[in-house]
Amino acid sequence: MLSKRDIAYESLDIENDPGALEQLQALGISTVPAVVVGGRSVLGWNPSKVAELVGFPLVERTAPPAEQVASLEMLLDAALRVIRQVPDDQLMLKSPDRDRPLRQLAHHVFRVVEASVDADVLGEFPANQWLKGGDVPEHTSAARIARYGEAVQAKVLRWFATVDEAAFARTIDADVGPRTLAQVVERTRFHAAQHIRQLYVFLEWIGVEPDRPLTAEDLKGIDLPDAVW
């Protein structure tokens, strides 16, 4: 969001730079993402608050609810195709800059989407809790991860079988403050789509051609960063 507006910033990686973590802790911040300007900060993903903090105008837009739900269905189908292509002996493959195995990332994609249903069911979206989920050692096969993905897919399809536009306009108690369900689902689309692009990179690393990968046209309308990582 900042890069697309040519706003200069310093990026700190707390996983690979202990000094960066110390800087955050010195400011009394114990979670990421965090955007800090002087002595002020915004925690979590809240574009409107970040824009206000940094000092530029932003009107948050969300796709119509039916389009959002269709996107979730498309993203789940794509994620299932990916994980079914992963050899079991590659599930512990990691990115050079992240101590997270492929199996954890794959599980996380499905959990991200499942959490959007939970937000509607429970009226809350405590992302600062479920985002911290670690590796899932029980996922010893790609088939097992796919089973979980299929369960999430069934949950999403059943819950959003009838799109209630009024429900998408209601306020959800999120970790970053009040958000509409539409804003939560918009974040979910962005989040899941970015991770699916990363899963495609993992497939390339292990020499597997992705099965019907999502195209730029498929992802049109989802505000993704130019970089995959």
Determine phi and psi for 12, rounding to 5 degrees. -115, 130
Same domain? 43 vs 147? no
Separation of alpha carbons 91 and 144, rounded Å = 11
Residue 219 falls inside a structural domain? no
The answer to whether residue 39 scores a pLDDT higher than 90 is no
Same domain? 108 vs 176? yes
Same domain? 28 vs 81? no
Domain span at residue 130?
Answer: 65-205
Instruction: Report helix angle 181-205 to 102-122, nearest 10.
Output: 170
Same domain? 81 vs 19? no
Mean pLDDT of 25-47: 88
Which of the listed residues 54, 77, 96 is the one where a domain comes to its end?
54
Record the pTM. 0.88
Q: What is the pLDDT of residues 48-81, one digit of tens each?
A: 899 999 999 998 899 999 999 999 999 999 999 9
Going by their DSSP bridges, the two strands 177-180 and 171-174 should be labelled as antiparallel
Same domain? 179 vs 83? yes
Q: How many structural domains are present in the chain?
A: 2
Same domain? 151 vs 115? yes
Mean pLDDT of 161-189: 93
Residue 17 falls inside a structural domain? yes
Residue 75 falls inside a structural domain? yes
Same domain? 42 vs 138? no
179 DSSP β-pair partners = 172
Confidence of residue 203 (pLDDT cuts 50, 70, 90): very high
